[in-house]
Chain A
Amino acid sequence: MAPRTVAPFGPQHPVLPEPIQLKITYENEKVVDVVPALGYGHRGIEKACELNEYPKNIHLVERICGICSCIHGISYCETVERLWPLEVPPRAKYLRVIYSEMSRLHSHLLWLGLLCDALGFESMFMQFWRIREKVLDILEATSGHRVTQSISVVGGVRRDIDAEQEKTCIKVLQEVKKEAESLINVLASDPTVKARTVGKGVLTKEQAILLGINGPHLRASGVKEDSRMLGAQAYSELGFEPIVETAGDCYARALVRAREALQSIELQLEAFSKMPEGEIFERPKGRPPANEVTYRAEQPRGECFYYAKGNGTQHLERFRVRTPTFANIPSLLVMLPGCELADVPVIVLSIDPCISCTER
């Protein structure tokens, strides 16, 4: 038996934007065992949410994660609205879909760039981030900020997209679609990318269901499961169909995210064409009543679960978020053992880890 070595992967590592440590045991160049260590990024946001008044929490919840910030804010509002329950105006529902999809688009483009970076395909990394910048620009032009859009409030949305902005958005989205399609075509057909991803980190359908994986990671293993299928907000009116791949390897996960990015452009264009005129905000009456609710939202990284308990005051008695990466980390313990040490960064990145979400 070859001698075994234990080496830390993280908490500071070039492919990891956030701190998570994987203690990797390897024999020669083969990974034998993995033990994840979490807890570097805990900020106590859930507790802080109980101390704050409920409208102020939107801004706090948005800071759980930098990339999913907009969807966190929207989902928090959707959760709190279910305490009454409160119906938001139809136009606000469509605007929430548009902002959710826009942040999914920029998140997936960011991830595709990071994947290229992990593979050493630097020029492609720059290309993906270049087109992502256009999406961030329209987010800033419509909502007022690139990253923390703060667009949602309990009862609707804060800013409307007027006709002129709508035209610009559609034009930019069509440009981004054209450019993204050509880049994804390169990524999907490149022999080096294929050599580094095809057959690496395979997770079968049965294993994925057993481990409770979610999001694009689950869909790449051949399970048709997406929280958007539940039809919250305006998704029920948009004819949404989840994207599924069956191979379950890193390549399949890249393809799912690439196709989802294109699909989210389509969803936005459809939402723009179907968006009704009218009010965007309805003031909630009184304080959130004593009630318990749950809500499932589909974030770029997977399914996010929200729980809120009201007690008739301005404060929530309990607020809880279960984020997608928390469910996806166990899959690393199945995918990593048996792989080459050089494949570890790509496999770790393929679950799209978001540690600040996980630890809150």
Chain B
Amino acid sequence: MPVMLPTVLRNLFGGPATRMYPVQVREPFAGARGQIEFNDDKCILCGNCEKRCPAAAIEINKDKNELVFYPARCIVCFVCAEACNKEAIIEVDKWRTPYYTKPVEVHTAKAKKDKAKENKVE
């Protein structure tokens, strides 16, 4: 017991190790892997992210000009964000909040459409 006395005294006069969550939330570290977001304006549906995703959380439907993202499957490894040549996938350090039903995000790639229009004009 006397050996533990310094630790006991430090804990007696020190503050608690926990915080009043959810009132008090710790700011995420810079570069923490929280979640990914898509920038529809930049995406050209090249399929780099779909090919590399280890959890098959991204599906690309070129006929419909759509990118389908399943957040519940995503393991936030950020491999897709590193693979994206157009910087269309944004790394966000805030965690996704819990959900009752598994969401499905459908993104329409605008960059590709615009490009197609430009080509038509030419």
User: A-side interface residues toward B, CB under 8 Å?
Assistant: 52, 55-60, 124, 127, 130, 133, 137, 140-141, 144-145, 148, 150, 158-159, 182-183, 185-186, 189-190
Question: In the bound complex, do residue A52 and residue B75 qualify as a contact, i.e. CB atoms below 8 Å apart?
Answer: no
For this complex, 23 residue pairs linking A to B, each with C-beta atoms less than 8 Å apart, are: A55-B54, A56-B52, A56-B54, A58-B54, A59-B54, A59-B75, A59-B79, A60-B54, A124-B4, A137-B29, A141-B32, A144-B33, A144-B78, A145-B32, A145-B33, A145-B76, A148-B75, A158-B82, A182-B6, A182-B7, A183-B7, A190-B3, A190-B4
**B77 interface hit (Cβ, 8 Å):** yes
Given contacts A144-B32, A144-B33, contact A186 B52 (CB under 8 A): no
Contact residues in B for A159 (Cβ distance below 8 Å): 31
Residue of A nearest to B28 (CB): A140
For the A-B complex with A60-B54, A140-B32, A144-B78 known, give 6 more contacts whose Cβ atoms are closer than 8 Å.
Answer: A58-B54, A133-B17, A144-B32, A182-B6, A186-B3, A189-B3
**B106 interface hit (Cβ, 8 Å):** no
Interface residue count on the B side (C-beta < 8 Å): 19
**B55 interface hit (Cβ, 8 Å):** yes
Per CB-CB distance, the 8 closest pairs between chain A and chain B, nearest first, are A56-B54, A144-B33, A59-B54, A141-B29, A186-B4, A186-B3, A150-B77, A145-B33
Contact residues in A for B55 (Cβ distance below 8 Å): 59
Question: In the bound complex, do residue A186 and residue B54 qualify as a contact, i.e. CB atoms below 8 Å apart?
Answer: no
Complex: A183 Cα to B76 Cα, angstroms: 35
Interface membership of chain B positions 30-44, coded 1 if the CB is closer than 8 angstroms to chain A and 0 otherwise: 111100000000000
Complex: A208 Cα to B31 Cα, angstroms: 45
User: B-side interface residues toward A, CB under 8 Å?
Assistant: 3-4, 6-7, 17, 29-33, 52, 54-55, 75-79, 82
Complex: A198 Cα to B7 Cα, angstroms: 24
Complex: A56 Cα to B17 Cα, angstroms: 37
Contact residues in B for A130 (Cβ distance below 8 Å): 17
Question: In the bound complex, do residue B29 and residue A140 qualify as a contact, i.e. CB atoms below 8 Å apart?
Answer: yes
Given contacts A56-B54, A148-B75, A150-B77, contact A185 B29 (CB under 8 A): no
Complex: A55 Cα to B54 Cα, angstroms: 8
Contact residues in A for B79 (Cβ distance below 8 Å): 59
Contact residues in A for B54 (Cβ distance below 8 Å): 52, 55-60
